[in-house]
Amino acid sequence: MSNKIKEILIASKAKEKLFNIKEAKVVKGKGIIGDRYYLQKGSFSQRLKDKEDFHITFIEQEEIDTFNKKTNLNYSNDLFRRNIITEGIGLNDLVGKRFKINDIEFLGMRLCEPCKLLSLDLGEEFLSQMVHKAGLRAKILSSGSFTFGESIEVL
């Protein structure tokens, strides 16, 4: 299976339901146009405003599927509150590495570990089952756009 972007999800403010978009327009050093963190309206916007690892988040479809299977739950992708759902690529391997989608470059900054706030919505099993599996935080190094279905190229 080749790696690809399966879904692109954003919300315009904190705690708002994430929704699918067909094309992500990203701005270097800022985020996805229209997303809560781009607009500085996310739950952690004030705490993260001086950091470079809140521009965009990724999570593997395979980890969501494994979580649902292990917990006998059927949570939809949007409930995991990550921007990009990937398939066929190990995101943990991208920490400290540059990668690109289309012509846009990213830098994998750190794992996007499960947080207590999200576990209030998804349950305590979210914390225990998703440690080191809840995705990747990345810095956006160049502006541009991409659509779902495109692949991730490790540089």
CATH number at residue 101: 2.40.33.20
Find the mean pLDDT for residues 102-116.
Answer: 89
On whether the CB atoms of residues 95 and 110 are closer than 8 A, the answer is yes
Residue 122 has pLDDT above 90, yes or no: no
pLDDT of 46 > 60? The answer is: no
Number of domains in the chain: 1
Mean pLDDT (the chain) is 88
- pLDDT tens digits, residue range 81-104? 999 999 999 999 999 999 999 999
**pLDDT for 26 beyond 80:** yes
Q: Which domain holds residue 133?
A: 4-154
pLDDT, average across residues 1-7: 89
List C-alpha distances in Å: 127 to 75, 87, 117, 124: 14, 22, 10, 6
